[in-house]
Amino acid sequence: MSRPSPRRLAGAALALSLLVLAPAARAANDNLAANKALVENFWKDVFIARNVDAAARYIRPDFIQHDPHMGPGLKGFVDFFKDAFARTPPGLKVEILKTVAEGDLVVTYNQFSGTDPQGKPFTGTGFDMFRLQGGLIAEHWSQVEPD
């Protein structure tokens, strides 16, 4: 019986590692897709539809918001946005331009436009970064820039 060559052993090892790693890579990609979908649905259901009551489907009760104007947790988020949505101009348009995910982080690049109460048009863009935990949003950072 002949011994396999080092080249054949290396090829077999590579093939075996691909067979072992492929399901893990597919699962990681599926998880990233699920994370992106969760954040995009959060945007659509809460911010675009202006339905703050939908936030409980997406945000953990111990949610951390990196905004000094907002109270802690899900309750702080809901209280802040109930007031903010009541003051939001009716023609405000919010659009997700791009969503990127890596690990437990999802970043959205967004554009907003509308007319202020004085009738002056405005536009702007922003980035939002979300950290997910247990299938819900656990933490949020944002940066918004008016044009």
Domains of the chain by residue range = 6-146
In this prediction, residue 3 carries a pLDDT of 67
Mean pLDDT by 10 residues, the chain (147 residues): 61 55 50 95 94 96 90 93 88 93 95 88 93 95 80
The tokens describing 39, both together, are: 């954040």
Record the pTM.
0.76
The CATH code belonging to domain 6-146 is 3.10.450.50
In this prediction, residue 90 carries a pLDDT of 80
Question: What is the C-alpha to C-alpha distance for residues 24 and 146, in angstroms, rounded to an integer?
Answer: 41
In this prediction, residue 53 carries a pLDDT of 95
Task: Give CA angle at 57 (56, 59), nearest 5°.
Answer: 60
The tokens describing 48, both together, are: 């675009």
